[in-house]
């Protein structure tokens, strides 16, 4: 227990809290900026099992803020979940790290969330957050929302059955283009670490069972404009008509809003979802090698073809880089990968 001695000395955690942390399972959804930082803090804190779910692979523009990744991960084109898992195992060998290279959606969430004590939001879109909100309510798992763009960030913890849910706070999906994204406004490292630190603090409170200490307010700040605010949500009761926590109609879990192609934040890239079916990456690599440079590892292939970079994962999912137009991306997928 020596490695946790400073955490054990911290009275609200102590030996009992540490034991609870070590018996906990946490699902980190998204292993990018927020996900890598929260995962590192929780692995160092000694969480029992940490599941990392991410659909993407490491690229050079991630290194500015995604703290677990190196230039080598980028050169190898490793999936983020795999690269992060390797680093976390080196940091704390006692933590069971489970990496899942997967698009978190209605068909994959149950297998990921089942039996977890907490879900951490490291995603970049509201569709997935509403899915996490549904999952949280359906299976009674607390989750912690975090978001950042530019120099602005926010954090809010949700306890199913106790606090209002995300849809009580924000009933509908924000319309496309209604808010800045890291595509349009960029994002700086400090705000990522600040949001992730707040999320991790709520995580430790929840995992140790100290629910009284959980912050029921929405915390937001802008580290460039020197603003910090908390929004008291205690006046906002759980809405009996809320489709999610009131009527328990889990539209996102049921896949009623599931898109087949999605633009990826900050990437000039589009993801094409596919029916999960194993792909013979070797055969595809052979075909594409005649058309351009192809790199391959055991998880995915990367092909530079016709001005696009195509990443094809073993489950048939693809990320088309070099366009943010979904139709064009589908066309590229159909031309070079086919179905």
Residues of this chain that bind Zn ion (CB under 5 A): 165, 167-168, 242, 244-245
* Closest CB 298 distance from Zn ion, rounded Å: 42
* Closest CB 6 distance from Zn ion, rounded Å: 38
**Secondary structure element (H or E) that encloses residue 219, with its range:** strand 217-222
28, 55, 118 from 32: Cα distances, Å: 10, 10, 18
In contact, 62 and 74? CB cutoff 8 Å: yes
Alpha carbon distance 255, 58 (integer Å): 28
Alpha carbon distance 197, 41 (integer Å): 8
In contact, 233 and 217? CB cutoff 8 Å: yes
Q: State in Å, rounded, how far the first CA of the chain is from the last one.
A: 53
Is the Cβ of residue 21 or residue 244 nearer to Zn ion in the bound state? 244
Is the Cβ of residue 86 or residue 217 nearer to Zn ion in the bound state? 217
| Nearest to 35, CA basis, from 174, 192, 225 | 192
Is the Cβ of residue 165 or residue 182 nearer to Zn ion in the bound state? 165
* Closest CB 167 distance from Zn ion, rounded Å: 5
* Closest CB 132 distance from Zn ion, rounded Å: 13
| Nearest to 45, CA basis, from 261, 205, 187 | 205
* Closest CB 333 distance from Zn ion, rounded Å: 37
* Closest CB 146 distance from Zn ion, rounded Å: 19
Is the Cβ of residue 221 or residue 250 nearer to Zn ion in the bound state? 250
* Closest CB 171 distance from Zn ion, rounded Å: 9
Q: Cα-flanking dihedrals φ and ψ of residue 79, to 5°? A: -60, 145
Alpha carbon distance 325, 310 (integer Å): 14
| Nearest to 181, CA basis, from 102, 247, 125, 122 | 125
* Closest CB 137 distance from Zn ion, rounded Å: 8
| Nearest to 314, CA basis, from 325, 295, 337, 298 | 298
Is the Cβ of residue 152 or residue 158 nearer to Zn ion in the bound state? 158
Is the Cβ of residue 20 or residue 167 nearer to Zn ion in the bound state? 167
Alpha carbon distance 303, 311 (integer Å): 7
Alpha carbon distance 130, 119 (integer Å): 13
Is the Cβ of residue 191 or residue 242 nearer to Zn ion in the bound state? 242
Residue 326's CB is within 10 A of a number of other CB atoms, namely 17
Is the Cβ of residue 231 or residue 293 nearer to Zn ion in the bound state? 231
């Amino acid at each position: 227990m020596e490695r946790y001695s400073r955490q054990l000395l911290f009275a609200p955690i102590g030996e009992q809290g540490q034991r609870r942390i070590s018996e906990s399972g946490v699902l980190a959804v998204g292993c990018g900026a927020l996900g890598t930082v929260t995962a590192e803090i929780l692995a160092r804190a000694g969480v029992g099992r940490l599941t990392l779910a991410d659909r993407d692979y490491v690229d050079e523009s991630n290194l500015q803020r995604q703290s677990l990744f190196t230039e080598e991960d980028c050169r190898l084109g490793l999936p983020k979940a795999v690269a992060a898992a390797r680093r976390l195992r080196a940091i704390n060998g006692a933590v069971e790290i489970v990496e899942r290279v997967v698009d978190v959606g209605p068909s994959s969430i149950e297998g990921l969330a089942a039996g977890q004590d907490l879900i951490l939001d490291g995603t970049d879109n509201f569709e997935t957050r509403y899915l996490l909100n549904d999952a949280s309510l359906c299976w009674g798992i607390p989750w912690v929302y975090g978001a950042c763009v530019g120099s602005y960030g926010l954090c809010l913890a949700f306890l199913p059955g106790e606090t209002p849910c995300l849809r009580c706070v924000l009933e509908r999906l924000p319309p496309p283009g209604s808010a800045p994204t890291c595509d349009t406004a960029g994002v700086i490292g400090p705000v990522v670490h600040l949001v992730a630190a707040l999320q991790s603090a709520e995580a430790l409170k929840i995992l140790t069972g100290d629910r009284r200490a959980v912050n029921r307010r929405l915390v937001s700040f802008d580290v460039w404009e020197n603003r910090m605010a908390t929004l008291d949500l205690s006046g906002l009761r759980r809405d009996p008509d809320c489709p999610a926590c009131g009527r328990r109609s889990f539209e996102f879990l049921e896949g009623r809003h599931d898109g087949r192609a999605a633009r990826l934040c900050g990437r000039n890239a589009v993801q094409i979802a596919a029916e999960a079916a194993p792909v013979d990456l070797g055969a595809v690599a052979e075909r594409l090698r005649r058309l351009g440079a192809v790199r391959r590892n055991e998880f995915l292939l990367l092909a530079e073809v016709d001005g696009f970079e195509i990443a094809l994962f073993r489950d048939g999912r693809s990320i088309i880089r070099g366009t943010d137009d979904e139709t064009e991306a589908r066309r590229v997928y159909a031309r070079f990968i086919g179905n």
